[in-house]
Every structure is written in structure tokens, then in C-alpha cells.
Chain A
Amino acid sequence: MPTLSYLNQDMISLRKELEYFINYFEEKGAIYLEIPTLLESDLLLDLYGEEINSRTYILNDPIKGNLMLRPDFTVPIVLMHIKNNQDRAEYCYSGKVWRKQDYSNLRPSEYLQVGIECFGGKDIAEEDARVFSIIRKAVNSIDLKIVTGDLGILRSAINGLEINTRCKKALLRQLWRPKRFLQVLEYFSHNSNLVNNEKNKIIELFNSGKLLDKLKNFESIIGLRTKKDILERVSELSNDILNNQLKDIDLKLLRDLLKISCPLTQAHQKINNSTYSHEYLKKSALLLEKRLDCLSELDIDVKNIDFEVSFGRTSLEYYDGFVFEMMSKKPYNSIALAQGGRYNELTRILSQLEGCQKSPNSVGGIIRPEILQSIK
């Protein structure tokens, strides 16, 4: 059933709005792209993970295999960009995306997105600020609540700790699942008591060289995981206990950082004043400060922008640096009418999968014209 927003008059103004945004993005130097609606699903399924997969519409084609109804524009654009072995380029697009919604969620499962993606920018702070500014100015007339974050803060806070790679990786991969992140933090803390008896027994068997004998007792070794994989993991587990990993001061640093929520203008100072700082973290705080300067230079009203270190952690596992969301203040609408951020890591993974040498820096932003229209 067509909803109110699909009535003719609304459709005309919506179409004008889309044209306006595209023109605006093109003026800023972006190339307009048409992206297919049906995407090959295998790569996307592995990339997105279960969280997003459960929300995508998969269509069965007996010959081509499963096809996915476009759940967003970014991934197909990254793929196109890196396959053409491009470095610096900017694109814009407009069209529908499809996402299944929760029963309780009143958001439509089919909606418009218009956006911009910038690749290959060398100056991170400058590019972040530029994309933010383009999106902010495109929705200029609206009184906005703007929240920003920077996943780079937590990433560098972790990367700069004196802990082994296993511990770093474990923390970094759980950044997007806050509850689990705290559990992993606890597990690797120096006074961890999360190693249970069962695990202790296995570790003891391993340390006394008897684990291999135990494994030999199993007649049936099935699946892709091997005995060697098990021995290797138990060796890691044994290491986890021996090496006191996260010190109290490290735990305090991460926990304090997670709590930072302040005006953007104070964010870099707050980070510099946290428990302690290491080179990685200092560099990230500097980037934050530089981005702030760039935003001011672009005439962005930085005083009215919020900053949260934790912001963006529960959304897509997509962004790994600067992130932002814009919501309408009057009338208040909690659904972001625009959002975006930096996703260098996503592009790196896709480049690797596609066997590309280069992996350009990537940042982008989207506007949801229907939300915008609903508040006008």
C-alpha cells in the first residue's frame, strides 16, 4: 500500500530534492553513478556478517545463484572503484535501498538514499571535514542535533598498549559489541579469573605434553578445524595466563576513554588529559584537533557538535575512523536524516579479497530524503 509520502505531490517534491542533492554533489566534483539494484550476494554475505544479513532481502536465481537486493551503496561503489584500479575519485548516487525492519520498528523497509563517497584523499582530517561539510551544507536549512565520534581513538588506544597481538586483535574485533568488549577486557586483564576449571585442565594437559595423546583417543576427526588448530589454540590459552596482559592502568585508560562525551571542541583535550597517553593516542587526538580546525575553516558551527568516543560502536562494523549522525531537533526525530564516516578498513578488506594492490582511503556520507521531507 502506498504510504502518505508516496502521494503525487510528495513524489514531485522528493524528486526535486534528489535532483538538488545530486546537482550539489556534482558541483563539488563528484561523478554520478548508477548502481545495480541486484547484487551478487556471496561476497556481501561474508563481508557484512549475520547482523546485516538477517536484514537483507535475498532473491533466489536458479542460474546466477543468490542475489541481494541492494542494502546500501557503499560496498558496490568500493568494489567498482578498486576493480578499475582507481586511486583518487569522488562519486555520488541516489536510489533506493532495502532492509528488513524489526516488527517493533516503524521504519519502512524500502527507502531512498542519496550520498557521496570519496576515495584516495591523502589528508585524513581535511577529507573527513570536507565530506561532513558537504553533507551538512546540503541539508542546510534544518536545525540539527549532530553527534560525532572517532573509532580511531579506541583503535589507537588499543594498538598502543604493551600487549601481544592476540590480545590486541581480540579487543579490536569486539569494538562493535560493547558488552562482549568488556568481557574480553576482563579476560585479558592481569587479575582475570575467567579461566575456568575445564580450561585449566586442558592447559595442564598441554603443558605436560599429554594433550596430543588425549586427541588421539578421538576416532572421528571431522570438519575443517584440525587437531593442530586445537593444539595451537591451547598454546595461546596457556600464554594468555602466563603473560600478565592488561595492566590496571591500561584498563583504566580504556574505560575512561569509553566514557568521554563532550562538545567536539573539547574532545582532543579530554583525550590528552585521560589516565595516560601513548604515542598512538596522542596522534589520534592530534587528528581530532586538526579535523576540528578544518571544520571551522569550512565555516561549520563546531560549537554545536557533540562528540562521544563510543559513538558508532553499535552501528555498522563498517566505519573505523570519523563518524557522524545528524538528526532533526525541531521537530525532534531520532532517526538520523544524514550520517557518514570513514571506512578505510572496509576498503582494505575488499581490496585484499579482490587481489588489488592499492587500498585507497575512503570516507562518505548519506542523506535520507524521506526523513528530511517528513520534518519539513
Chain B
Amino acid sequence: MKLAIPSKGRLKKEVLSWFNHKGVKILTSEDNRSYSASVIGFSDIQLFFLPPIEIPMLLSKGSIDIGVTGQDLVEEKIPNWDKYLIELIELGIGHANLVIAVPEFWVDVNNLEDLDDVSKIFREKMGFRLRIATKYQNLARKYLKDFGLADYILIDSQGATEGLIENEAAEVVIDISSTGQTFKSNNLKVLQIDPIKKSQVAIFSSLKCNKEILLSEKNRLFFEKLSINLKDFYS
């Protein structure tokens, strides 16, 4: 069975500690930069450290059987994800909201209706559409379409998105926030409306994986320790 978990940073630490807490010990290499590891007592499980953003696609293709990643990333990367993946359990870590942020001094903008009005005035004045920078193009587009925002365009931004407004490369940002500190530090405020998406880290399995391997006696104990009853999902 192939298992993928986040390869870097705080998320990796939190995920390892969650597994540890459940009594599943993951032995990582002494070398912090190595991506090889194993699950103690489960020699049949092949463990991979992968960037969380790549895990959803690998799961949907069946290249890995089980993956730990953010719900936001699964929804963003795989349209109709539940046709390819099963969410087995939420880990209660990596809580984050996908939110809309604008410059703090836009005192007249507090909701989507305001943003719609501003995008109209902006496009008329500037001759181009209001630019909204985000890494979450699919989630953002669906949300804005449902509302009916007009005269905007999405700008793809893979990092440091909050800085784009100061660089005059975007007017609005849609990004993940846990505390909102990055926004504040960049003189942005979050619109006080329901977040586009509330997300946390979860364990997903691929619908393309080999069911028999997943349900095998060897793996049964592994899932039991994680409080996952696979038979609830695969019958």
C-alpha cells in the first residue's frame, strides 16, 4: 500500500505527531532533507513524502492509495473529487479558510456586492478588468460565478500572493488564511463574509486503489489504529 504525507514544514510535523498520537510511529531519516521513511511495524506500507498540492492528483490517478492533504487542495485540484477519492477522516489540524482580502483602506468595501460595484467602476476607469490574484482558481471561479461577480479576471499566483496588490499586479486577493496575520502584515483586510471554503487536513483514499490490498489483514490494524473503519467506505 502506498501512503503519501506532506513533505515539508509545520504541516509535516503536525501530521507526524497526529500519527504518533494514534500509535502509528513513522521513522524518518536523521537527515532532515531526505524524503525516505517507513511506518514502524507495517513494512508493507510504502511511505512517500510529497508536496501536499501534488497529492490530490496522484490519488485521483491511483498512483498512491492513501494520502494526507488539505481538503481545500483536493477540491481545487480535482473537479468532482468525490468521484475519485474518499475522505476517510479529518485530522483536526491545518485549519484554514479560503477568504477574500482587499486593501485595508478600502473602507467602502465590506461584501461581494461592494466588490461587484467596485469592479464595474474600476474597469470603466482603468480600461481593464479588476484583477483577483489566487492560487485557488477553480474554487474562486466557482464561488464568484455563483454570486455573479462581473468585470473581474483571475490572476494565477503560486506564492507571495498578498504582495501582489502593493506591486500593482492585482487589486484583490483570494487566499488561505488561518490567523489573518499575513494579510494584516501586507495592509490587507479580509471581507467579513462566510469563507469561500473552510478547510482542514484529512486522510483520503483513492477509488482506483486495489481494494483487496487496502482491506487486507495486514493493513486492517493500521487503519484501526487511525480510527478508520474502511468497511464503512468500501463495501
Instruction: Give the segment of B40-48, B99-107, B206-214 that binds chain A.
Output: B99-107
- B187 to A222, Cβ gap below 8 A? yes
| A54 interfacial by beta-carbon distance below 8 Å | yes
**How many Å lie between the Cα of A274 and that of B235 in the bound state?**
59
Count CB-based A-B contacts (< 8 Å).
103
B108 and A187 contacting across the interface, CB-CB below 8 Å: no
Known interface pairs A50-B144, A51-B145, A174-B150. Does A220 touch B104 (Cβ–Cβ under 8 Å)? yes
Q: Which of B104-148 contact A (CB under 8 A)?
A: 104-108, 110-111, 113-114, 116-118, 120-122, 125-126, 128-129, 137, 141, 144-145, 147-148
In the assembled complex, B201 has its CB within 8 A of some CB on chain A:
no
* Interface band, chain B: 35 or more
Indicate if B72 sits at the interface (CB-CB under 8 A).
Answer: no
Report the bound CA distance from A177 to B153 in whole Å. 16
Interface string of B129-173 (1 = CB under 8 A from A): 100000001000100110111111110000000000110101100
Are B150 and A177 neighbours in the complex by a CB distance under 8 Å? Answer: yes
On whether A230 and B79 interact (CB within 8 A), knowing A49-B153, A173-B151, the answer reads no
Contacts A45-B153, A224-B126; A180 near B147 (Cβ below 8 A) = yes
A177, A214, A227: residue with the most chain B Cβ atoms closer than 10 Å: A177
B113 & A227 in contact (Cβ 8 Å cutoff): no
A233–B118 CB distance below 8 A: yes
Q: Bound state CA distance, A211 and B107, in angstroms?
A: 9
Q: What chain B residues lie within 8 Å of A53 (beta carbons)?
A: 153-154
How far apart are A174's CB and chain B's nearest CB, in angstroms?
6
Which residues from 213 to 270 on chain A have a C-beta closer than 8 Å to any C-beta of chain B? Answer: 214-215, 218-225, 227, 229-230, 232-234, 237
> A50 with B121: in contact, given A103-B80, A220-B104 (CB under 8 Å)?
no
With contacts A51-B145, A104-B80, A180-B116 known, is A225 near B150, CB below 8 A? no
Other-chain contact of A222, B79, B107, B137, B166 (Cβ < 8 Å): B166
In contact, B103 and A49 (Cβ under 8 angstroms): no
* Among candidates A50, A183, A227, A237, residue contacting B141 with C-beta atoms closer than 8 Å: A50
The docked-state distance in angstroms from the alpha carbon of A176 to that of B151 is 12
Residues in chain B near residue A181, CB distance under 8 A: 148
- Cβ proximity bits A36-71 to B, threshold 8 Å, 1 near / 0 not: 000000000110011101100000000000000000
Nearest A residue to B83 via CB reads A103
Are A225 and B151 in touch, CB under 8 angstroms?
A: no
When the two chains form the complex, which single residue of A225, A234, A237 contacts B103, counting CB atoms closer than 8 Å? A225
In the bound assembly, the distance between CA atoms of A60 and B151 in angstroms comes to 24
A83 to chain B, nearest CB (A): 19
What 12 additional pairs, Cβ within 8 angstroms, besides A46-B128, A102-B79, A222-B165?
A170-B120, A179-B148, A180-B147, A199-B110, A199-B114, A202-B107, A220-B103, A221-B105, A222-B187, A223-B170, A224-B122, A233-B118
21 contacts between A and B (CB under 8 A): A49-B150, A49-B151, A50-B152, A51-B145, A53-B154, A54-B137, A103-B83, A174-B148, A176-B150, A177-B150, A181-B148, A187-B113, A220-B105, A221-B103, A221-B105, A222-B103, A223-B170, A225-B118, A227-B105, A233-B108, A233-B118
